[in-house]
Amino acid sequence: MEQAAVVSFWFAMALYLVATVLYSYHFVAKRPVFSWYATFATGAGFLAHTASIGLHWGATGETPITGSFNSLSLTAWTLVLIYFVVEHLVKLKLYGAVLVPLAFLAMATGQVLLGSESFELGEAAISQLDSWRVGMHVALIMIANASFAVGAAASGVYLLQGAQLKKHKTSALMKRLPSLTQTQMLARRAIMLAYPLYTAGMLLGIVRAIEFDLNWWFDPRVMMSGVVWAIYGSYLLLHYRRGASGKLLARLALVGLVAVIVLAIIARTVPTGFHIFGL
Amino acid sequence: MHLTLVGLSHKTAPVEIREKLTFPAHRQEEALSLLLSTPDVAEAVVLSTCNRTEIYAVTVAGSDGPGAIVDFLADYHDLDRHELVRYLYFSEGEAVVRHLFRVVASLDSMVIGEAQILGQVKEAYEYAFANDSAGRIFNKLFRQSFEVGKRVRSETDIGESAVSISYAAVELAKKVFDNLEGRTVLILGAGKMSELTAKHLVSNGVKTVLVANRTYERAEELACRFCGLAIRYDELFERMREADIVISSTAATHYVVTKDKVAAAMRSRKGQPLFLIDIAVPRDIDPDINDLDDVFLYDIDDLSGVVESNLEERMREARRAEEIIAEEMVAFERWIESMEVVPTVAAIRAKAEQVRSAELEKALKRLGGLSEKELKTIDALTTSIVNKMLHGPTARLKMVAGEKDGYTYVETARFLYGLDANPEGRATHAGLIKSLFGRAERAADKSTQNEMGDTIGC
């Protein structure tokens, strides 16, 4: 079963890669048939990915939230799921060329970290994980991270389109990219959805951490998640209270995603704190 | 059967001639019935727009199809035949298919990429279909041409870029706001160009029009045309906060809209973008405004540059459209081949031979122990039966295939024998393709076309 999980995982990665190429080609060449193939490849990859997560769980007994490999794989899975929602809502395949490769990179990073990571969960750690709060904490944070990624992708597109419009020259890129207000709205809605989920996820984690460790805040990932929370909090505050410019908000959304990536990958490798189970 | 086209367009005839050769909707039925009453014409479609009049026809092999159509045009419009021929172009065979596909793809239009032509060709075909003047070949050809039109519009950007200043402004506004529904436009100055631009914006969904002019009465006059609101000139920057798009075309000799004023207005817009169009010369809006976040300023030169680059892009996209046309021509050619009599007869014979061999093999297994001579006799007997059974139908099929509507017999035979594929490949097929596409006679036709002042390729 474990072998089947590995095969499904690689198969999903290959399909995501194919989808990335197809989405990109569709964006450049505007061939509707390729966008259909791209969605098909993403869908097939998603099914293979789902099978891989399920089979791996069944074979090893490791929950999908333990270890870098599992949690990054689950993050990628959530990202693809959220992408399908976005594609359905905004009817744009462009974001497939950004979000699907991001999912691919998350999986590839998980695969790289798998080789360098070795940890055994002790009984204390297992008892810490044994709570509905931990499951909810991880699920909420992952959905929030995927939504932050959507917000950042839309913000990146916003900056690109804004720069094209400022240059006063029409280009194929400008014509292919969606309008500023559309990208702005997608970014804001994605971050607006993600922020309360992230806050709830953090609070659940904090409550659980306090039960076991009074120095719960002395953990690189907890600290980093505070930074992420502050960045996106500023984003919403600047937008709703200050009416900040679209450009500033878009840059902030990108900075936020960088912080999320640092938290998800780099802070994971720091050998201190209580997040020893790779969450 | 020949595919024939006789027509004239903005490229070959001035408007004084084009207007004499139109076929308005209410006269199409009469025109089509007159055309079909000619023994040389089997199918016909009349395309009549302000820029072209074209008659597409399937003409009977061996007849003077183009001549018959010219006679029809001259008689119908009461024009001198020799005078008329000077403005006409003629195409036959494959060139007709290519021409139609190019017309539908709007590659032959006055403004490349314009969208109306597809609808106009559809309308022309629908008239022909309703009047029974479009048969099997034109049903296929025109429906495929619509596919070409759709593909060209969806797979290329040929029709996506604006080629006029006012449309370029609308197009850019849509890149900022996506949808202009419910947006507010502020017109500064009451020039003709700003009025035209505002008109396009309103037709694209802009809801509120505010007009500011030094002379309030003129502002009121213009606002009235758009059911908008005239505002006092000194309220300009206060009202700019409500506007999404500003069009300026005053006669001022200095900047009327300055950076600090716009920056102040932007502060209360809560990050909402502002799109400014400065059509005035000398300019009304300080170009430094473009440096402000969320502010996008285009002056007349910027818009002209956009139009120019859009025109260039349409030309580039036209090359991609030609590739699509080439692909679709191959598809049409394949269909024509499937209507071919020679491969159809060959396929019928191949199928019969397959059945004969299989049945013979079964029978021989049951009989067993037959001598060489007996085997040969049985083989010859079955072959002879099959040949005699097929001789009559295939001979008659070959005979009628060249006649008017002969392809319907071929099609029926293919249906009855269940032939879904062409067994011999494309190379050996000649008859119908030669006939419809006129390949064998192209060399002979060339001299005639030159004589007639042919302008194929437009």
> Which residue, A87, A117, A147, sits at the end of a domain?
A117
Residue reference for tokens 């099978």: A51
Q: Using CA atoms, how far apart are residues B188 and B190, in angstroms rounded to an integer?
A: 7
Same domain as B223, residue B174: yes
Answer yes or no: is A223 within a domain. Answer: yes
Same domain as A197, residue A142: yes
Closest alpha carbon within chain A to B311: A170
Residue to mutate among B147, B163, B178, B276, with most A CBs inside 10 A, is: B178
Q: Name residues 154-183 of chain B within 8 A of A (Cβ).
A: 154-157, 160-161, 172, 174-179
Answer yes or no: is B57 within a domain. Answer: yes
- Percent of chain B whose predicted confidence (pLDDT) is above 90: 32
Q: Using CA atoms, how far apart are residues A142 and A78, in angstroms rounded to an integer?
A: 7
The alpha-helical segments, DSSP class H, found in B251-299 are 259-267
Answer yes or no: is B93 within a domain. Answer: yes
Q: What is the pLDDT of residue A19?
A: 93
Same domain as A266, residue A186: yes
> Which residue, A92, A117, A142, sits at the end of a domain?
A117
Same domain as B258, residue B374: no
Give the CATH number, domain containing residue B180: 3.40.50.720
Answer yes or no: is B325 within a domain. Answer: no
Cα B276 from chain centre:
36
Min CA distance, A202 vs chain B (Å)?
30
Same domain as B122, residue B208: no
- Quick one: which of A69, A153, A66, A51 has its CA closest to A107? A69
Same domain as B178, residue B114: no
- Cross-strand partners of B8: B53
Q: Kindly list the distances between the CA atom of residue A190 and the CA atoms of A34, A193, A202, in Å, as whole numbers in the listed order.
A: 27, 5, 18
Answer yes or no: is A7 within a domain. Answer: yes
Same domain as A190, residue A165: yes
Same domain as B77, residue B7: yes
> Which residue, B257, B285, B306, sits at the end of a domain?
B306
ipTM of the complex: 0.80
For residue A25, list chain B residues with Cβ-Cβ distance below 8 A.
Answer: none
Cis-peptide into B282, omega within 30 deg: yes
For residue A174, list chain B residues with Cβ-Cβ distance below 8 A.
Answer: 175
Residue reference for tokens 């450009």: A247
Answer yes or no: is A43 within a domain. Answer: yes
Helix (H, G, I), strand (E, B) or coil at A203: helix
Nearest to B296 among A32, A165, A172 (CB): A165
Cα A210 from chain centre:
27
Same domain as B299, residue B197: yes
Answer yes or no: is A124 within a domain. Answer: no
Question: In this predicted model, what pLDDT tens digit does every residue of B243-280 receive, in sequence order?
Answer: 999 998 888 888 889 999 999 888 888 788 999 998 88
Q: Do the Cβ atoms of B175 and A180 come within 8 Å?
A: yes
Same domain as A137, residue A88: no
Q: Using CA atoms, how far apart are residues B140 and B83, in angstroms rounded to an integer?
A: 34
Same domain as B134, residue B67: yes
Q: What is the pLDDT of residue B382?
A: 92
Nearest to B175 among A165, A169, A184 (CB): A165
- State which residues form the domain around A142: 130-279
Same domain as B360, residue B251: no
Answer yes or no: is B360 within a domain. Answer: yes
Same domain as B178, residue B74: no
Residue reference for tokens 């059945």: B355
Same domain as B364, residue B411: yes
Same domain as A23, residue A83: yes
Same domain as A170, residue A86: no
Same domain as A77, residue A11: yes
What are A85's two structure tokens?
């929602």
Same domain as A228, residue A155: yes
For residue A180, list chain B residues with Cβ-Cβ distance below 8 A.
Answer: 175-178, 273
Same domain as A137, residue A201: yes
Question: In this predicted model, what pLDDT tens digit does every residue of B333-360 receive, in sequence order?
Answer: 877 766 667 778 888 888 899 999 999 9
The question of whether B458 is a catalytic residue gets the answer: no
Nearest to A245 among B293, B298, B302 (CB): B293
Residue A119's pLDDT band (cuts 50, 70, 90): low
B1 half-sphere exposure, CB direction, 13 A CA radius: 29
Q: Using CA atoms, how far apart are residues B231 and B186, in angstroms rounded to an integer?
A: 10
Give the CATH number, domain containing residue B14: 3.30.460.30
Answer yes or no: is B333 within a domain. Answer: no
Question: In this predicted model, what pLDDT tens digit does every residue of A236-265 receive, in sequence order?
Answer: 999 888 778 889 999 999 999 999 988 877
For residue A272, is pLDDT > 80?
no
Is residue B321 packed enough to be buried (19+ CB in 10 Å), middle (13-18) or exposed (0-12)?
Answer: buried
Min CA distance, B162 vs chain A (Å)?
11
- State which residues form the domain around B188: 165-306
> Which residue, A117, A146, A172, sits at the end of a domain?
A117
Closest alpha carbon within chain A to B162: A170
Closest alpha carbon within chain B to A27: B155
Nearest to B273 among A243, A244, A246 (CB): A246
- The mean pLDDT value of chain B amounts to 83
Q: Is residue A70 within 8 Å of A64, Cβ to Cβ?
A: yes
Closest alpha carbon within chain B to A243: B270
For residue B22, is pLDDT > 80?
yes
Q: How many domains does chain A have?
A: 2
Q: Is residue B325 within 8 Å of B411, Cβ to Cβ?
A: no
Same domain as B389, residue B293: no
Answer yes or no: is B370 within a domain. Answer: yes
Min CA distance, A232 vs chain B (Å)?
17
Same domain as A279, residue A146: yes
Answer yes or no: is A125 within a domain. Answer: no
Contacts 24+ apart (CB under 8 A), B26-29: B28/B124, B28/B127, B28/B131, B29/B127, B29/B131
Residue to mutate among B177, B183, B262, B294, with most A CBs inside 10 A, is: B294
B309 and A CB contact within 8 Å: yes
A135 and B CB contact within 8 Å: no
Same domain as A145, residue A27: no
Question: In this predicted model, what pLDDT tens digit does every residue of A18-30 receive, in sequence order?
Answer: 999 999 888 887 7
Q: How many domains does chain B have?
A: 3
B310 and A CB contact within 8 Å: yes
Nearest to A30 among B155, B161, B313 (CB): B155
Residue A207's pLDDT band (cuts 50, 70, 90): confident
Q: Do the Cβ atoms of B267 and A243 come within 8 Å?
A: yes
